[in-house]
């Protein structure tokens, strides 16, 4: 039943292109609506900005998702019931139609990642911010310990296309400008940060919604091209909250996010 619940979340994301809720707890208003027999409110909210309104989601799709996301596991359909469901047996797109749709979505994602029209953020930092020791921020926001001068031995690791992830963007800006912008972000947004002394990389801890998210940001050189990949990796914490932090970091970099992998 847990797998069926997860399948319902995944299916909703594939169709709606966003999450059905942030957390599967009654504190989340969207989850509370669908788990307390107020599915009409759930669908009304999620269809508000969709083309065609409520008709964006077919009636059979709404019925299947509502049952898959039932709060009581015993109310979720069995595999046999899913396979017999009207939506499951509905029309299926051709390979060409699927490819066309995914190409369109990728183009939209690339355009979203491109922020070349945004202003370039200020990236002047005190060189003492770079350290191979973790820096802790006190209650008042001040740094609690001194840090060392940046290492002169940093090497830029190579971007490996086979390991690409959705939480990355590309830039033709100078390497030092990107690294300094990361340092400003770490100083302003994170609760703890630690810079590697041998690569252009940093480990960050961010406190969001009373939840600690640990992540690593790597700046990687794209082979045979005059650009870099800024890669953000979740080390621990809630995936949904991490997505929000990634978007915040990308927005912070502003006009530095000015390229794509192909261009």
Mean pLDDT of the region 179-207: 93
Which tokens in the block code for residue 22? 């942030």
pLDDT tens for 69-84 read 999 999 999 999 999 9
Q: Is the pLDDT of residue 11 over 90?
A: yes
| Two tokens, residue 217 | 């940001």
| Of 37-51, 133-147, 158-172, 223-237, the least confident | 133-147
Per-residue CA distances from 255 to 84, 115, 195, 221, 238 (Å): 50, 5, 23, 18, 28
Q: What is the pLDDT of residue 184?
A: 92
Q: Cα–Cα distance between 208 and 190 in angstroms, integer?
A: 10
Could you tell me what percentage of the chain is helix, strand and coil, using 3-state DSSP and rounding each to the nearest 5?
Answer: 40, 15, 40
For the chain, the distance separating the N- and C-terminal CA atoms, rounded to the nearest angstrom, is: 44
Return the pLDDT at 142: 54
Average pLDDT value over all residues in the chain: 87
Per-residue model confidence as pLDDT tens digits over 39-65? 999 999 999 889 899 999 999 999 999
d(CA 102, CA 55): 22
Which of the four pLDDT bands, split at 50, 70 and 90, describes residue 240? confident
| The pairing of beta strand 168-171 with beta strand 135-136 | unpaired
Comparison of pLDDT for 119 and 242, the residue scoring more: 242
- Give the separation between CA 18 and CA 244, rounded to whole angstroms: 12
How far is C-alpha 139 from the geometric centre of its chain's CA atoms? Answer: 28
- Could you give the residue ranges of the DSSP H alpha helices within 78-223? 79-83, 95-113, 175-189
Average pLDDT over residues 197-209: 92
**Can you give the pTM of this predicted structure?**
0.61
Measured CA distances, 12 to 18, 79, 93, 182, 221 (Å): 8, 17, 17, 34, 36
Name the 3-class secondary structure at 125. coil
Give per-residue pLDDT as tens, 159-175: 998 888 889 999 999 99
Which residues, including other chains, have CB under 8 Å from residue 129's CB and lie 6 or more apart?
135, 147, 183, 186, 187, 195
* Candidate from 69-78, 144-153, 188-197, 246-255 with smallest mean pLDDT: 144-153
Phi first, then psi, for residue 171 (nearest 5°) are -150, 145
From the number of C-beta atoms within 10 Å of its C-beta (0-12, 13-18, 19+), residue 105 rates as exposed
């Amino acid at each position: 039943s847990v797998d069926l619940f997860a399948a319902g979340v995944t299916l909703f994301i594939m169709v709606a292109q966003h999450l059905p809720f942030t957390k599967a707890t009654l504190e989340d208003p969207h989850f509370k609506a669908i788990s307390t027999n107020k599915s009409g409110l759930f669908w009304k909210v999620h269809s508000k900005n969709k083309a065609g309104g409520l008709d964006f989601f077919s009636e059979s799709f709404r019925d299947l998702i509502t049952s898959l996301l039932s709060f009581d596991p015993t109310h979720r359909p069995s595999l046999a019931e899913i396979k017999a469901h009207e939506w499951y047996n509905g029309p299926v797109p051709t390979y060409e139609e699927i490819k066309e749709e995914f190409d369109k979505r990728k183009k939209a994602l690339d355009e979203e990642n491109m922020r070349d029209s945004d202003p370039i953020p200020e990236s002047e930092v005190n060189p003492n911010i770079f350290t191979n020791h973790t820096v802790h921020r006190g209650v008042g926001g001040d740094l609690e310990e001194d840090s060392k001068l940046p290492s002169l031995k940093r090497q830029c690791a190579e971007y490996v296309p086979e390991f690409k992830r959705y939480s990355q963007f590309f830039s033709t800006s100078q390497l030092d400008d990107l690294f300094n912008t990361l340092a400003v972000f770490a100083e302003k947004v994170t609760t703890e940060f630690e810079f590697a002394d041998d690569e252009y990389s940093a480990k960050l801890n961010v406190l969001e919604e009373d939840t600690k998210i640990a992540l690593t940001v790597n700046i990687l050189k794209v082979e045979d091209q005059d650009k870099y990949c800024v890669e953000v990796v979740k080390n621990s914490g809630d995936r949904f909250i991490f997505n929000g932090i990634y978007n915040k970091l990308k927005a912070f970099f502003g006009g530095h996010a000015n390229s794509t992998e192909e261009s």
